[in-house]
């Protein structure tokens, strides 16, 4: 068992605190990147619907090989922008 305040090595040579306090801080912070599934759940749609939305121009996604990376804050702002645009179309 490690003592409080000790560090563990991570891939790439980085070190992070290896204690419960560090875990609690990390869990309370919002993730910068969300998965495809998390994005779909966040807005309450199925994967096919999200895929159609993300095909629109301006969708905040990054392709990393075959993997989609979705930056959390830009995604939320983009979705809010789509919703505002829909509301303005009906006024």
Structure tokens at 30: 């919002």
- Helix 36-43, helix 47-54: angle, nearest 10: 100
Q: How confident is residue 86, by pLDDT bands cut at 50, 70 and 90? A: low
pLDDT at residue 20, rounded to an integer: 44
Tokens of 68: 């989609």
Ordered domains of the chain (ranges, CATH): 1-29 (no CATH), 33-89 (3.90.105)
Place of tokens 């605190």: 17
How does residue 85 score in pLDDT terms, banded at 50, 70 and 90?
confident
pTM listed for this prediction: 0.59
So what's the pLDDT on residue 34?
A: 93
Whether 3 has a pLDDT exceeding 90, the answer reads no
- Tell me, what's the pLDDT at 83? 81
| Alpha helix positions (H), the chain | 20-28, 36-43, 47-54, 72-89
CB 7, CB 15: distance < 8 Å = yes
């Amino acid at each position: 068992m490690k003592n409080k305040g000790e560090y563990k090595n991570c891939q790439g040579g980085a070190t992070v605190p290896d204690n419960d306090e560090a875990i609690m801080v990390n869990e309370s912070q919002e993730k910068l990147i969300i998965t495809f599934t998390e994005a779909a759940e966040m807005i309450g749609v199925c994967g096919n619907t999200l895929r159609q939305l993300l095909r629109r121009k301006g969708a905040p996604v990054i392709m990393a090989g075959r993997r989609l990376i979705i930056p959390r804050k830009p995604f939320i702002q983009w979705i809010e922008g789509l919703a505002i645009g829909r509301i303005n179309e009906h006024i």
